[in-house]
A and B are shown apart, each in its own frame.
Chain A
Amino acid sequence: MAIDPLISSMRIAGSGMQSQSTRLRVVSENIANAQSTGPTAGSNPYARKTITFDSELDRASGENLVEVKSIGVDTTPFRVEHMPGNPAADANGDVKMPNIDLLFEMGDMREANRSYEANLQVVKQSRQMLSDTIDLMRS
Protein backbone atom coordinates (compact mmCIF):
# COMPACT_ATOMS: atom_id res chain seq x y z
CA MET A 1 0.00 0.00 0.00
CA ALA A 2 1.28 3.43 -0.88
CA ILE A 3 1.30 6.39 1.50
CA ASP A 4 -2.43 6.92 1.21
CA PRO A 5 -4.39 3.64 0.91
CA LEU A 6 -7.41 5.44 -0.50
CA ILE A 7 -5.39 6.92 -3.35
CA SER A 8 -4.02 3.42 -3.96
CA SER A 9 -7.60 2.13 -4.11
CA MET A 10 -8.43 4.61 -6.83
CA ARG A 11 -5.37 3.68 -8.83
CA ILE A 12 -6.00 -0.03 -8.50
CA ALA A 13 -9.66 0.30 -9.42
CA GLY A 14 -8.60 2.55 -12.30
CA SER A 15 -6.37 -0.18 -13.66
CA GLY A 16 -9.32 -2.54 -13.33
CA MET A 17 -11.54 -0.22 -15.34
CA GLN A 18 -8.91 0.07 -18.04
CA SER A 19 -8.51 -3.70 -18.30
CA GLN A 20 -12.25 -4.31 -18.46
CA SER A 21 -12.48 -1.62 -21.14
CA THR A 22 -9.98 -3.48 -23.28
CA ARG A 23 -11.91 -6.67 -22.64
CA LEU A 24 -15.09 -4.99 -23.85
CA ARG A 25 -13.29 -3.85 -26.96
CA VAL A 26 -12.11 -7.37 -27.74
CA VAL A 27 -15.60 -8.78 -27.22
CA SER A 28 -17.07 -6.09 -29.48
CA GLU A 29 -14.59 -7.00 -32.20
CA ASN A 30 -15.60 -10.64 -31.91
CA ILE A 31 -19.28 -9.83 -32.11
CA ALA A 32 -18.82 -7.48 -35.05
CA ASN A 33 -16.82 -10.11 -36.96
CA ALA A 34 -19.05 -13.07 -36.20
CA GLN A 35 -19.80 -13.47 -39.91
CA SER A 36 -16.51 -12.36 -41.39
CA THR A 37 -15.30 -14.97 -43.85
CA GLY A 38 -11.87 -15.10 -45.46
CA PRO A 39 -10.91 -13.01 -48.52
CA THR A 40 -10.21 -15.85 -50.97
CA ALA A 41 -11.68 -19.24 -51.68
CA GLY A 42 -11.03 -21.73 -48.91
CA SER A 43 -9.12 -19.26 -46.77
CA ASN A 44 -9.47 -18.91 -43.00
CA PRO A 45 -12.06 -16.51 -41.61
CA TYR A 46 -11.78 -14.11 -38.67
CA ALA A 47 -10.43 -15.98 -35.67
CA ARG A 48 -11.93 -15.26 -32.26
CA LYS A 49 -9.71 -13.12 -30.02
CA THR A 50 -9.16 -13.93 -26.37
CA ILE A 51 -7.84 -11.73 -23.60
CA THR A 52 -5.80 -12.63 -20.53
CA PHE A 53 -5.31 -10.49 -17.46
CA ASP A 54 -2.37 -10.48 -15.12
CA SER A 55 -1.65 -9.00 -11.73
CA GLU A 56 1.18 -6.50 -11.84
CA LEU A 57 2.98 -5.43 -8.70
CA ASP A 58 3.88 -1.76 -8.97
CA ARG A 59 7.28 -1.68 -7.24
CA ALA A 60 7.20 1.98 -6.31
CA SER A 61 3.91 1.91 -4.45
CA GLY A 62 3.43 -1.78 -3.68
CA GLU A 63 0.03 -1.84 -5.34
CA ASN A 64 -1.47 -4.89 -6.99
CA LEU A 65 -2.51 -3.36 -10.29
CA VAL A 66 -4.14 -5.45 -13.01
CA GLU A 67 -3.08 -5.29 -16.64
CA VAL A 68 -3.85 -6.98 -19.92
CA LYS A 69 -1.21 -9.69 -20.27
CA SER A 70 -1.99 -10.59 -23.87
CA ILE A 71 -4.65 -10.63 -26.54
CA GLY A 72 -4.50 -14.04 -28.11
CA VAL A 73 -6.27 -16.09 -30.74
CA ASP A 74 -8.76 -18.86 -30.08
CA THR A 75 -7.52 -22.01 -31.84
CA THR A 76 -10.88 -23.79 -31.78
CA PRO A 77 -11.57 -25.20 -35.23
CA PHE A 78 -13.72 -23.08 -37.51
CA ARG A 79 -17.33 -23.97 -38.24
CA VAL A 80 -17.98 -25.14 -41.76
CA GLU A 81 -21.12 -24.15 -43.62
CA HIS A 82 -22.16 -25.32 -47.02
CA MET A 83 -22.63 -22.17 -49.13
CA PRO A 84 -21.60 -22.92 -52.76
CA GLY A 85 -22.27 -19.40 -54.02
CA ASN A 86 -20.07 -17.67 -51.42
CA PRO A 87 -16.80 -16.11 -52.67
CA ALA A 88 -14.95 -17.87 -49.87
CA ALA A 89 -16.32 -21.30 -50.74
CA ASP A 90 -13.73 -23.96 -51.51
CA ALA A 91 -13.95 -26.63 -54.21
CA ASN A 92 -16.71 -28.49 -52.30
CA GLY A 93 -18.77 -25.35 -51.71
CA ASP A 94 -17.89 -25.30 -48.00
CA VAL A 95 -17.17 -22.01 -46.29
CA LYS A 96 -15.19 -21.74 -43.06
CA MET A 97 -17.02 -19.47 -40.60
CA PRO A 98 -15.53 -17.75 -37.54
CA ASN A 99 -15.41 -19.80 -34.36
CA ILE A 100 -17.59 -17.29 -32.52
CA ASP A 101 -20.62 -18.13 -30.42
CA LEU A 102 -22.71 -14.99 -30.19
CA LEU A 103 -24.50 -16.05 -27.03
CA PHE A 104 -21.19 -16.61 -25.29
CA GLU A 105 -19.84 -13.25 -26.46
CA MET A 106 -22.97 -11.46 -25.24
CA GLY A 107 -22.59 -13.11 -21.86
CA ASP A 108 -18.92 -12.10 -21.76
CA MET A 109 -19.90 -8.55 -22.61
CA ARG A 110 -22.35 -8.43 -19.72
CA GLU A 111 -19.68 -9.78 -17.37
CA ALA A 112 -17.15 -7.23 -18.56
CA ASN A 113 -19.71 -4.50 -18.02
CA ARG A 114 -20.48 -5.76 -14.52
CA SER A 115 -16.79 -5.83 -13.60
CA TYR A 116 -16.31 -2.36 -15.05
CA GLU A 117 -19.19 -1.03 -12.95
CA ALA A 118 -17.82 -2.69 -9.82
CA ASN A 119 -14.41 -1.04 -10.33
CA LEU A 120 -16.13 2.28 -10.97
CA GLN A 121 -18.05 1.85 -7.73
CA VAL A 122 -14.79 1.38 -5.82
CA VAL A 123 -13.36 4.54 -7.39
CA LYS A 124 -16.45 6.52 -6.40
CA GLN A 125 -16.44 5.21 -2.86
CA SER A 126 -12.74 5.82 -2.28
CA ARG A 127 -13.11 9.31 -3.62
CA GLN A 128 -16.08 9.87 -1.31
CA MET A 129 -14.12 8.69 1.72
CA LEU A 130 -11.23 11.03 0.89
CA SER A 131 -13.65 13.89 0.38
CA ASP A 132 -15.40 13.21 3.70
CA THR A 133 -12.06 13.20 5.52
CA ILE A 134 -11.06 16.52 3.99
CA ASP A 135 -14.46 17.96 4.87
CA LEU A 136 -13.69 17.45 8.56
CA MET A 137 -11.25 20.34 8.33
CA ARG A 138 -13.92 22.62 6.96
CA SER A 139 -15.11 25.28 9.45
Chain B
Amino acid sequence: METMAVFSLASQKASWLSAREATIASNVANANTPGYKAQDVTPFSSVLSHLQLKMTATEPGHMQPASLSGATTRAKPGETWDVVFSGNSVNLEQEMLKAGEIHTAHSLDMGVVRSFHQMLMNAVKS
Protein backbone atom coordinates (compact mmCIF):
# COMPACT_ATOMS: atom_id res chain seq x y z
CA MET B 1 0.00 0.00 0.00
CA GLU B 2 3.01 2.24 -0.43
CA THR B 3 3.34 4.79 -3.16
CA MET B 4 6.73 3.69 -4.41
CA ALA B 5 8.79 0.59 -3.79
CA VAL B 6 11.81 2.63 -2.76
CA PHE B 7 10.14 3.59 0.51
CA SER B 8 9.55 -0.04 1.50
CA LEU B 9 13.10 -0.99 0.61
CA ALA B 10 14.56 1.96 2.50
CA SER B 11 12.45 0.97 5.49
CA GLN B 12 13.74 -2.61 5.48
CA LYS B 13 17.30 -1.37 5.11
CA ALA B 14 16.97 1.07 7.98
CA SER B 15 15.57 -1.65 10.25
CA TRP B 16 18.43 -3.96 9.31
CA LEU B 17 20.99 -1.24 9.94
CA SER B 18 19.54 -0.55 13.38
CA ALA B 19 19.69 -4.24 14.28
CA ARG B 20 23.29 -4.40 13.11
CA GLU B 21 24.19 -1.32 15.13
CA ALA B 22 22.79 -2.95 18.26
CA THR B 23 24.84 -6.09 17.56
CA ILE B 24 27.99 -4.03 17.21
CA ALA B 25 27.15 -2.21 20.44
CA SER B 26 26.89 -5.60 22.13
CA ASN B 27 30.25 -6.70 20.70
CA VAL B 28 32.07 -3.52 21.67
CA ALA B 29 30.61 -3.45 25.18
CA ASN B 30 31.58 -7.10 25.72
CA ALA B 31 35.07 -6.77 24.23
CA ASN B 32 36.57 -7.79 27.57
CA THR B 33 33.96 -10.29 28.71
CA PRO B 34 35.53 -13.76 28.98
CA GLY B 35 34.01 -16.32 26.63
CA TYR B 36 32.00 -13.80 24.64
CA LYS B 37 31.80 -14.48 20.91
CA ALA B 38 31.42 -11.66 18.41
CA GLN B 39 28.01 -11.60 16.71
CA ASP B 40 26.72 -10.16 13.48
CA VAL B 41 23.44 -10.11 11.58
CA THR B 42 22.66 -12.02 8.40
CA PRO B 43 23.53 -10.06 5.26
CA PHE B 44 20.86 -7.71 3.95
CA SER B 45 20.58 -9.58 0.64
CA SER B 46 19.31 -12.75 2.30
CA VAL B 47 16.88 -10.68 4.36
CA LEU B 48 15.62 -9.14 1.11
CA SER B 49 15.17 -12.46 -0.67
CA HIS B 50 12.89 -13.62 2.13
CA LEU B 51 10.66 -10.63 1.47
CA GLN B 52 10.71 -11.18 -2.28
CA LEU B 53 11.37 -7.55 -3.06
CA LYS B 54 12.73 -7.30 -6.54
CA MET B 55 13.82 -4.31 -8.48
CA THR B 56 12.21 -4.57 -11.89
CA ALA B 57 13.49 -2.87 -15.02
CA THR B 58 10.49 -1.35 -16.75
CA GLU B 59 12.34 -0.30 -19.88
CA PRO B 60 15.22 -1.86 -21.77
CA GLY B 61 17.53 1.04 -20.99
CA HIS B 62 17.20 0.75 -17.21
CA MET B 63 20.24 -0.27 -15.23
CA GLN B 64 20.27 -3.60 -13.49
CA PRO B 65 20.71 -3.17 -9.73
CA ALA B 66 24.14 -4.03 -8.43
CA SER B 67 24.21 -7.24 -6.46
CA LEU B 68 23.53 -6.73 -2.79
CA SER B 69 25.24 -9.92 -1.68
CA GLY B 70 28.81 -9.51 -0.55
CA ALA B 71 28.12 -6.01 0.75
CA THR B 72 28.64 -7.26 4.27
CA THR B 73 30.28 -10.29 5.77
CA ARG B 74 28.93 -12.48 8.50
CA ALA B 75 31.34 -13.21 11.30
CA LYS B 76 31.57 -16.97 11.42
CA PRO B 77 33.78 -18.26 14.25
CA GLY B 78 36.85 -18.73 12.07
CA GLU B 79 36.57 -15.42 10.27
CA THR B 80 37.17 -12.99 13.09
CA TRP B 81 40.66 -11.64 13.02
CA ASP B 82 41.76 -13.01 16.34
CA VAL B 83 40.60 -15.09 19.26
CA VAL B 84 42.46 -14.32 22.46
CA PHE B 85 43.13 -16.80 25.24
CA SER B 86 40.15 -15.65 27.31
CA GLY B 87 37.86 -17.06 24.63
CA ASN B 88 36.73 -13.59 23.69
CA SER B 89 36.68 -13.07 19.93
CA VAL B 90 35.82 -9.39 19.64
CA ASN B 91 38.16 -7.23 17.60
CA LEU B 92 37.58 -3.54 18.22
CA GLU B 93 39.01 -2.41 14.88
CA GLN B 94 36.73 -4.76 12.98
CA GLU B 95 33.72 -3.52 14.93
CA MET B 96 34.65 0.11 14.28
CA LEU B 97 34.95 -0.63 10.57
CA LYS B 98 31.48 -2.18 10.58
CA ALA B 99 30.17 0.85 12.44
CA GLY B 100 31.59 3.05 9.69
CA GLU B 101 29.80 0.97 7.05
CA ILE B 102 26.56 1.33 8.95
CA HIS B 103 26.93 5.08 9.22
CA THR B 104 27.43 5.50 5.48
CA ALA B 105 24.60 3.15 4.57
CA HIS B 106 22.26 4.87 6.98
CA SER B 107 23.09 8.33 5.62
CA LEU B 108 22.41 7.07 2.13
CA ASP B 109 19.12 5.58 3.26
CA MET B 110 18.03 8.83 4.89
CA GLY B 111 19.06 10.81 1.83
CA VAL B 112 17.08 8.59 -0.51
CA VAL B 113 13.95 8.74 1.63
CA ARG B 114 14.17 12.50 2.06
CA SER B 115 14.69 13.12 -1.65
CA PHE B 116 11.88 10.92 -2.87
CA HIS B 117 9.53 12.20 -0.21
CA GLN B 118 10.21 15.79 -1.19
CA MET B 119 9.97 15.03 -4.88
CA LEU B 120 6.59 13.42 -4.35
CA MET B 121 5.34 16.30 -2.23
CA ASN B 122 6.49 18.84 -4.78
CA ALA B 123 5.02 16.92 -7.68
CA VAL B 124 1.62 16.81 -5.99
CA LYS B 125 1.62 20.44 -4.92
CA SER B 126 1.56 22.03 -8.38
Q: Are A66 and B117 in contact (CB under 8 A)?
A: no
**A52→B106 CA distance, assembly (Å):** 35
State whether the Cβ of B8 lies closer than 8 Å to any Cβ in chain A: no
Q: Are A118 and B33 in contact (CB under 8 A)?
A: no
For window 1-24 of A, CB contacts with B under 8 Å fall at 1, 4-6, 8-10, 12-13, 15-16, 19-20, 23
How many chain B residues touch A (CB < 8 A): the figure is 30
- Per DSSP, are chain A's interface residues mostly helix, strand or loop, or mixed? helix
**Chain B residue nearest to A64 in the complex (CB):** B26
**Chain B residue nearest to A4 in the complex (CB):** B18
**Contacts known (A8-B22, A136-B117); A118 close to B103, Cβ less than 8 A:** no
Contacts of B40 in A (CB 8 A): none
**Chain A residue nearest to B117 in the complex (CB):** A136
Q: Are A129 and B21 in contact (CB under 8 A)?
A: yes
Q: Among B17, B29, B96, which residue has its beta carbon within 8 angstroms of that of A16?
A: B29
How many chain A residues touch B (CB < 8 A): the figure is 36
**Contacts known (A115-B92, A118-B92); A125 close to B102, Cβ less than 8 A:** yes
State whether the Cβ of B44 lies closer than 8 Å to any Cβ in chain A: no
**Chain A residue nearest to B36 in the complex (CB):** A55
**A19→B33 CA distance, assembly (Å):** 10
**Chain B residue nearest to A15 in the complex (CB):** B29
Which of B45-53, B57-65, B67-75, B107-115 lies at the binding interface? B107-115
Task: Write out, one digit per residue, whether chain B residues 1-39 have a CB within 8 A of any chain A CB (1) or not (0).
Answer: 000000000000011011101101110111111101000
Q: Are B96 and A6 in contact (CB under 8 A)?
A: no
Q: Are B110 and A53 in contact (CB under 8 A)?
A: no
Q: Are A122 and B33 in contact (CB under 8 A)?
A: no
**Contacts known (A8-B22, A9-B22); A55 close to B33, Cβ less than 8 A:** yes
State whether the Cβ of A43 lies closer than 8 Å to any Cβ in chain B: no
State whether the Cβ of A114 lies closer than 8 Å to any Cβ in chain B: yes
Contacts of A4 in B (CB 8 A): 18
Q: Among A13, A52, A54, A115, which residue has its beta carbon within 8 angstroms of that of B25?
A: A13
Known contacts A5-B22, A66-B30; 11 further A-B pairs (Cβ under 8 A): A6-B18, A20-B32, A115-B32, A118-B28, A119-B28, A119-B29, A122-B29, A126-B25, A129-B21, A135-B110, A136-B113
